[in-house]
Amino acid sequence: MSLTEVKIILVESAGALNIGSTARVMKNFGFSQLILVNPQCDYLGQGAKMMAVHAQDILESALVVETLPQALKGCKHAIATTGVHHDWNAPLETPRTALPWLLETVGQPAALIFGREDRGLTNQELNYAQRFVRIPTNPAYTSLNLATSVALCCYELSQFADLSPNDDLDSLSGISSRELAPLDVVESYYQQLQSLLLNIGFLHPHTANSRMEKIRQIYNRSQLQTQEIAMLRGMIRQIKWAVEKSSSNENL
């Protein structure tokens, strides 16, 4: 897979200088797809262009979307960066361990997601990723500048992209390449599942989001394939039909 197929996604960035610097490091290492989710600054302003230097073409071609799911459309692999330890079972990996996995999706885009400068990604936004990266830093001062984080990750990815076709990316990333379902298809399944679980009383409106986070984590660890999603959606349709039939019989 070419690095040009990897989307660098910045969520609600507030610093035009950071966005300009991101464009510059992307060009340094061979990336070209910059996606901005609801940017909170003038990303085409003088400050951003000054920091981009000779990468203004990446700034000008950046795709701006309103939500993270829109940015992830068509992607099969997505890794989110976070500096926070979360109370879930998904491990926080180093860039060198996790990032090669993005290069396994031949012919399909992959995504590397970065959060806000001041507070990173929300739990809901992290739910859209399948793996999570934390850049090891000095415990006395863990905060990294956004553009610096992008640069470190782009550098690591560029080193793996230089491997020959005979090198084994599977052994480097720890997960074998499979026919994974696109993330937008998986998200559609999650919405369908949540609706069903609310309907049958397994989920309750006031706790549905937190319970669905745990369910998403279980599925994300399993790396759902396209045919598996089709089977699961078929199960949901059959369960919904059975529930509606039972309810109809009770009303007779």
Would you state the pLDDT for residue 85?
Answer: 67
| CATH number, residue 112 | 3.40.1280.10
3-state secondary structure the chain: CCHHHEEEEEECCCCHHHHHHHHHHHHHHCCCEEEEECCCCCCCCHHHHHHHHHHHHHHHCCEEECCHHHHCCCCCEEEEECCCCCCCCCCEECHHHHHHHHHHCCCCCEEEEECECCCECCHHHHCCCCEEECCCCCCCCCCCCHHHHHHHHHHHHHHHHCCCCCCCHHHHHCCCCCCECCHHHHHHHHHHHHHHHHHCCCCCCCCHHHHHHHHHHHHHHHCCEHHHHHHHHHHHHHHHHHHHHHHHHHCC
Say whether both 187 and 128 belong to one domain. no
Say whether both 97 and 187 belong to one domain. no
Would you state the pLDDT for residue 223?
Answer: 77
Does some domain include residue 178?
A: no
Per the structure, the complete domain to which residue 90 belongs is given by 3-173
Say whether both 212 and 102 belong to one domain. no
Say whether both 24 and 101 belong to one domain. yes
Distance, CA of 183 to CA of 129 (rounded, Å): 9
Would you state the pLDDT for residue 212?
Answer: 87
Would you state the pLDDT for residue 233?
Answer: 85
pTM of the model: 0.74
Would you state the pLDDT for residue 242?
Answer: 86
Say whether both 129 and 202 belong to one domain. no
* Number of domains composing the chain: 2
Segment-wise mean pLDDT, segments of 10 residues, the chain, 252 residues: 89 96 96 96 96 95 96 92 73 89 82 94 90 90 92 92 51 51 84 89 88 84 81 87 78 62
Would you state the pLDDT for residue 176?
Answer: 44
Would you state the pLDDT for residue 172?
Answer: 45
Would you state the pLDDT for residue 32?
Answer: 94
Would you state the pLDDT for residue 171?
Answer: 47
